[in-house]
Chain A
């Protein structure tokens, strides 16, 4: 059978249900994307929160990353979504950090603004958390606080590598793709992060 005849045959096979099949494919894609976003959104928020120490900013960058992935990269294979999503997230985090640096420099030039900023209490820090009961939670909270503090004190790239590898569970290649660096660099960053955390959280191991 000639190639043209084969093509015609295939086209005829597809033609009757073509639209419905396309719609189903689109719906499947949307469902897959939704499942992916549900899977990553909380972890992504925690990663952003640890990097930015600000809830609203963390939510904004996660929202941005979701939007970017959905509108620009959703047609890419699903296996690529995670590294892509975290690369977008890290870029957004860096954007916020840069903006903050500039803002802080400007504020440093205006001493009267500094006193205003410092006098305002952080409403998020003051918010009451409706979590589990205190006696059960106390130990977990203390550990979390210590870990959070240790993670915040890490250099950005080490924290990034540690969270993507350990928390999100990306492999070395995916982490390298997300961080836009070599796999060797990922291993180095991760190893150093682990060493620093062990040194700071020695008692945490017992």
Chain B
């Protein structure tokens, strides 16, 4: 293959590329009006989205220092509030709770399960005895 041939092929290739490019560019220029309109709308929507994004990000940037300051104040408030302080009321409340637990655990304590453990026969006998006693005393 000679240099001229190679050069010729390259030039031919370049012509081919140039022509295809021209045809494609021409087809892009001759797009229907409806398509051009939709593309314009899409472009405007994209630019509007960018503008709104910038606005919200600039607002966010403006509120960042205020938010940080508020967080610091809240953190300080939480840290400095005497949550762990032992006031007399808190001590009484805590000891009362412990007493309740002791009572619940105590087997000798009062019955908390209704009438299940009540000896009704004893009370009937005692009532009979009392009535008999009063009757004998009266007679």
CB distance from A99 to the nearest CB of B (A): 20
Within 8 A of A (CB), among B30-71: 30-33, 35-36, 38-39, 42-43, 45-47, 49-51, 53-54
Out of A43, A45, A70, A130, which one reaches B46, CB within 8 Å? A70
A67 at the interface (CB under 8 A from B): yes
Binding site for B on A (CB under 8 A): 26, 30, 33-34, 37-38, 41-43, 45-46, 55, 59, 62-63, 66-67, 69-71, 74, 127, 129-132, 140, 143-144, 147-148, 163, 166-167, 169, 194, 197-198, 204-205
At the interface, is chain A mostly helix, strand, loop or mixed?
helix
Query: A45-B28, A66-B46, A74-B50 are known contacts. Are A194 and B38 too (CB-CB below 8 A)?
Result: no
Question: A-contacting residues of B (Cβ < 8 Å)?
Answer: 12-13, 15-17, 19-21, 23-33, 35-36, 38-39, 42-43, 45-47, 49-51, 53-54
**21 residue pairs A–B, Cβ–Cβ below 8 Å:** A30-B50, A34-B47, A38-B43, A41-B42, A43-B28, A45-B35, A45-B39, A59-B42, A63-B38, A63-B42, A63-B46, A70-B47, A70-B50, A71-B49, A71-B50, A166-B17, A167-B20, A194-B16, A197-B20, A204-B20, A205-B19
Interface of B is mostly: helix
Beta-carbon nearest neighbor of B25 in chain A: A167
Write the chain B residue with the least CB distance to A41. Answer: B39
Whether A34 and B28, one on each chain, are in contact in the complex, defined by CB atoms closer than 8 angstroms, is no
Q: Which 7 A-B residue pairings sit nearest by Cβ, starting from the closest?
A: A63-B42, A66-B46, A70-B50, A70-B46, A42-B28, A167-B24, A41-B39
Nearest CB on B from A46, distance (A): 5
CA A101 – CA B26 in complex, angstroms? Answer: 31
